[in-house]
Structure formats: C-alpha cells, structure tokens
Structure 1
C-alpha cells in the first residue's frame, strides 16, 4: 500500500535523496554513487552540482576525483554528457547507447559518417591512445585528419560521441584547462558487468535512491528507455522501493531513503541553495511542478533554447535564478528571484554564494539591488 504524502513531504524527501539535507555526503564519489548520473554538458555547472552536495569541498577536490577515475564523464544517458561512478559506465552504456545511436542515424548519414568512417576513427583511437596515452579533443581530431578522416562541421563531435557510446573512448584527466580523451577499457579496467534485466533493476533502484520520490514517467524521461524496459526495471527493483501517493499519482522512493517518509524529522544544513544550471534537482524529472509552478518554468529556460539557468532554491522550491559575470574587476553574481526575497531568504542566498566562491576559489560579489529585501530603516 502506498504511503500518502503532501507536496511538502515529497520536497523534503527529495532534498534528502539529492544530498541537500540530512547527513552530508563526504566526497565527490559519494555524490555520484547517490545520484548515479550528474548532468555535465556544462562542465563547470557539473563540477558545482557535485560540490554543492559536499559541504566544504573545492573545485580541486572534484577535479581530483575526475583525474583519478573515481568519476567518469561520458554520454551514459539521453546522448548527454554526465558524470557517473567509473564502475557503472559500462552497464549504463549497454542499456542506453543502442537507442541513442539509433536516434543519431539520420544525422550521421547527413554528415557522411558511414560505418567505414566510424571504424576508421576507432582504429585511430586505438592506435593513438593505447598504453595509457591521452589526447585533448583538438589533438584527437588532428590525429583523425592526419589519417584522412574529415572532422569538419559536426563530424568531429559525432565521431567522438559515437566512439564513446560504443565503449571505446571516455573523457579522462585534465591537461591544463582541457580534458583529455582516453580508452575506456584502460581508464576503467574493472567495470561492473550486469545482465540486461539486472542492469534495469540497478538503474531503477539507483534513480529512485538519488531522485525519489519520482514517477515511472520521470524515470523514463531521465533514462530515455522504453516504458517496457521501465516496467522490467520496476519489477526487478520492487523489493527495494517504497510507493508514495502524491495526489493520486504513484511515486517511488528507495527503501534506503525511508527516513524521509512523512512524520520524520527534517534534517537540513541550509534552507537556501544556489544550484547550478542543469542541476539534477530540476532536470532529473519529466514533471517539475512539484518544485516550480508551471507558469514560472519558462523563466528558467529563457527563449526555450535548452539552456537551463542556475537556480535559487528556498525550502526546496525554486524561487528564482542567478547568473555570474566575469569582468576585469572580478566575478559578479546577479540574482533574479521571482519575487522580492525575504530577509531570511536573502541572507541564505548570500551564504550560498559564499559557498560557491569558496568552492571555485574566486572572490564573488553579489550585485546590489534586484530581488534584495528593502533595508531596515532604524526608528528615530
């Protein structure tokens, strides 16, 4: 029988599953282990998505986890870059890559990328990267060109993505400001190997552990797997899940997150967060109205161009956005709340930006004015 829950209950449970309340996650690997996949198409946003969930961490801590293959950046879901725990990437690609590659078939044909071109690129990758060698994206594209494989237009991107989706490449450590490409089997020599249905059950359990409570449709959107696969995953994972009823709609929560059920005491480290753009707290779901009203959602994606702005979160609800601007005088933050913040919210936002500044290692200043509460005028 499903446990009835209010929207406030669901938000409280989600904050806990996302590592934004309750006991702090101890390191970047723990975040990836909890979330399974953290969107990282915007690389810096992905770093902060991990950092905001590890109080006291720095960008160097996350970079170190990437450089030592604790986290791996690749295309494990929806044809979109994510950070994932290194041992999990192989089985995730086994589930998701066939559908993503099928969806890219038309574009590959338009670019003239037939099987011969792709296999030629794979040979170049194996020849140039075997033995622990690495190349930046620019270096790898130059190696392809040297072998007569054109990378003009979007061909270079599609070749790299195809080789990653088929398990040949992944992104490795940093060299200067660039990430390098490496051979996946060398970078992750001891992957987990799961059979198809077992992998579906693992994906299901891990999704609801890091994103619950959420619906089966949320999982289908997040993974871009078929509803038939989602049903198999739910069947395999059923013993590890709790059903939550929100307004007559069944949501699922991993049993390991049971402490967040209605009636439990909330455990929070903060009530206001400055989350990055593309954060899983919003993008991890097909339906987002639990945390942001439908009429406010367009403000998070101006122009409907697919670029999600950084979020201001207060008590688990999205109350606005924020932006950074780097100038010769430093980094500035501008808040764009939906409504004027209360003094408590503004103070929390200032603390959240202080956390962001400490994480990034750069001084950050909030522009005065928009969204800030009116100053208190002392009585005379």
Structure 2
C-alpha cells in the first residue's frame, strides 16, 4: 500500500493563507471573489460578512459598498440558511447546491414542527397555512422586498398568533409571520433582503429566493464538500461532519463520490480533494490579519490546535463555541481585538510564541486598515467573548 503523504501544521497554515485570501499577495478585488474562495461567509452577525470581506480585499474601503452591491443590487451573493441550520452568505450560483445538500431535510422538519405546534394550539390546519403561504409569496413578488409587517398589510392572517408550549415553562405566543417566513427560508423560497438600517443592522426585509433547479441531494452534497475541501483541506472526518452538520454516512458518501485522498495529519487521518495531496506553495512571507467574530477561517475546523493554542481558546470563544474577533500572525491565532465605544481599535497578544517586533508592526498595519473600513461605524459582536469584553472595558 502506498504511504500517505504527511501534511504538517506549517503547510496547512500556508494553504490557509493563500486559499482563504489572507496573505497580502492573495487578496481579492471583489466580494464575489472572496465568497467564491471561502464557499460561505457566516451571516448570523450581519457585520461579520462585511468585515470578513474587508480583511481579504486589496482595498478594504470597498468592503461595504461592494458587498451591498453584490447582495442587494446585482444579487450575485445571497443570504440564506445553510450548514447546521445557520444563516450564511453564499455565491448565488450555489443556491441550488446548498438548498439540496442542506435545506431539504431541515425544511421538512421545520414545516412539520410548525404544523404540529399550530395543531396543539387549536390553530387552523395545513390547508389554511398553504393559503397564507401562497398569498404571502404573491405579495412579496409584487413588492420585491418587504418586512413581515408590510407583508401582513397584504395578508392580514400573518398577524394571527397561537400559543406555543401551553402549560410549559417556555409557553409563549408565536406569530404566524415569524414562523412561516422561517419555514419558507429553509425551504429555499425566500431569502433575507436589504436591512432596514445600516450594514450592521439585523432587521432584514424579505425577498423571493433566486430561481434554481432541484438537484439530487447526494450529488449536491458531493459538490459542496468538494468545493469546501479544496479551500479548507486537509480536514478530518470530524471537521467535515461538524462543518456540514451531516451524518457520518453522508460525509463518507460524499468523500467517496469526489475521490478524496487520504493524508496523514498530526494526530490522525485527513482528506484533501483529488490531486491536492502534493506540496502546496507558501506565501511570500509572514502575514497578519484581524478577523471578525464568526469569521469562516477561525470557525472552519472543529479540530483547531494547528492554528489555535488550546490555552488561549477559552478567552476567544463564548460558551456556545462562537469565536470572537481574532488577531492572526502567519497562520496562527495569537490574540484578539475589539472596538471601543469611541471607535478605537485595541488588540492584545495572548500567544507570544514567535511574536516579535515584525509581527506587532504588521498587526498594527492591519488595525489601521480596519479603522479605514469602519470609519465612524461602531461594531459590537453579537456573541461577546471574554477577551473582547475585557478590551472594550
């Protein structure tokens, strides 16, 4: 049997630098190039999308206007549910792949749960809900984009409420609009549109989803995993299962379908895309980056010791496993950053290994790039982490 090639941490960090457009030589010209390179941008916190793009653009000042253009004018990027039932921003061309590989199973569960909760509350049946759904989609087609309140003016039944969890400690009133629009989102029928406020706002209008063909689930999963492995490989089976939210059997089926190759990693077996096991080029030199909370690079793998020292992890993640703003030097997370109420960008090194004068100067240059992107905007991560709170205080 042919020996598997060993890929160590140094090479993994070099791959990360170039493929995820973090080294200076690899920076992109447009948000579309960034999204294509990363496959997906975390969209749970609206600011993350713009800051993640800005960290990878040659000109970070273009991050906000160009990302807004891509999302809301050209619609070359789309905000929709994806992996692990989480909101991401994807290239619009991936809509069908994401929906078939991730959304179908989740959508079936969400609709069944809504109908069950309505039935338990004595609310109208599935036929009634289907009427409301069709009327809502028709109203959205007329309006182009709309809030739930605006849609309820066209379809008043969206305002109706039903009791959820009657008699339980979590009993509460659910509005039909809130639950139905969520179901339509995971079903790939509607997507988030332009926010009501600035680019940091989490109050979104709704829009009809881009039209897309219905794909076979297994084929779509193979397509998506192949794209991600090209960007993030090598990765372990545990990494792949965590990132996708699929069952182990689905991950293994997709790996076989794309002909993924096995390699040796520190502590186990990893996978790369077919033909990608050969030595990868390295960046021109060491690089620094200030990445936002929930950045797709920091969150890309479940097993992170090769770029994040275990002893600093508790200060950079919240209790639910969400990463805060991070400072990077040459492929390793070395600390974190925050923005204070007066706009000042502050950062702190937690992992001093190999961090000297050159690294600190490079980090400060990245902080200056970030200041130029933010201008007068103030950003507070949705999920606060211990170090971020310390720096702000």
* Alignment TM-score > 0.5, same fold: yes
Contact 2:161 2:174 in 1 (8 A): no
What secondary structure sits across from 1:163 in the alignment? helix
Q: Does 1:158 align with 2:189?
A: no
What secondary structure sits across from 2:365 in the alignment? helix
Gaps in structure 1 of 5+ consecutive residues: 365-369, 372-380
Contact 1:29 1:65 in 2 (8 A): yes
Equivalent residues in 2 for 1:29-108 (5 A)?
Answer: 29-56=32-59, 57-67=62-72, 68-101=74-107, 108=114
CA offsets, 1:28-77, max 9 Å, x none?
11222222211110011122112212221321111111012110001122
Q: Which has the larger displacement, 95-104 or 194-203?
A: 95-104
CA offsets, 1:297-342, max 9 Å, x none?
211124x145421111111111111111333xxx122223215663
TM-score normalised by the chain length of structure 2: 0.79
Q: Distance in 2 between matches of 1:182 and 1:66?
A: 11
CA offsets, 1:204-248, max 9 Å, x none?
11111222221222111111111111111111111xx44331125
RMSD, aligned α-carbons: 3.0
Q: Do the aligned partners of residues 273 and 31 (structure 1) sit closer, same or farther apart at CA in structure 2, a change above 3 Å counting?
A: same
Contact 2:97 2:221 in 1 (8 A): no
Contact 1:20 1:269 in 2 (8 A): no
Match of 1:271 among 287, 304, 313: 287
Q: Does 1:252 align with 2:271?
A: yes
Contact 1:207 1:219 in 2 (8 A): no
TM-score normalised by the chain length of structure 1: 0.81
Q: Which has the larger displacement, 23-32 or 168-177?
A: 168-177
Contact 1:72 1:84 in 2 (8 A): yes
Contact 1:39 1:82 in 2 (8 A): yes
Q: Distance in 2 between matches of 1:91 and 1:4?
A: 32
Match of 1:24 among 23, 27, 33: 27
Q: Distance in 2 between matches of 1:92 and 1:217?
A: 20
What secondary structure sits across from 2:80 in the alignment? strand
Q: Does 1:127 align with 2:138?
A: yes
Q: Do the aligned partners of residues 277 and 115 (structure 1) sit closer, same or farther apart at CA in structure 2, a change above 3 Å counting?
A: farther
Structure 1 equivalent of residue 167 of structure 2: none
Q: Do the aligned partners of residues 269 and 105 (structure 1) sit closer, same or farther apart at CA in structure 2, a change above 3 Å counting?
A: farther
Q: Which has the larger displacement, 46-55 or 108-117?
A: 108-117
Contact 1:273 1:314 in 2 (8 A): yes
Q: Which has the larger displacement, 49-58 or 337-346?
A: 337-346
Q: Distance in 1 between matches of 2:330 and 2:139?
A: 50
How many angstroms does 1:359 deviate by? 2.6
* Structure 1 residue runs of 4 or more that deviate by more than 6 Å after TM superposition: none
Structure 2 equivalent of residue 3 of structure 1: 5
Q: Do the aligned partners of residues 358 and 34 (structure 1) sit closer, same or farther apart at CA in structure 2, a change above 3 Å counting?
A: same
Q: Does 1:326 align with 2:341?
A: yes
Structure 2 equivalent of residue 288 of structure 1: 304
Structure 2 equivalent of residue 206 of structure 1: 227
Gaps in structure 2 of 5+ consecutive residues: 163-172, 379-389
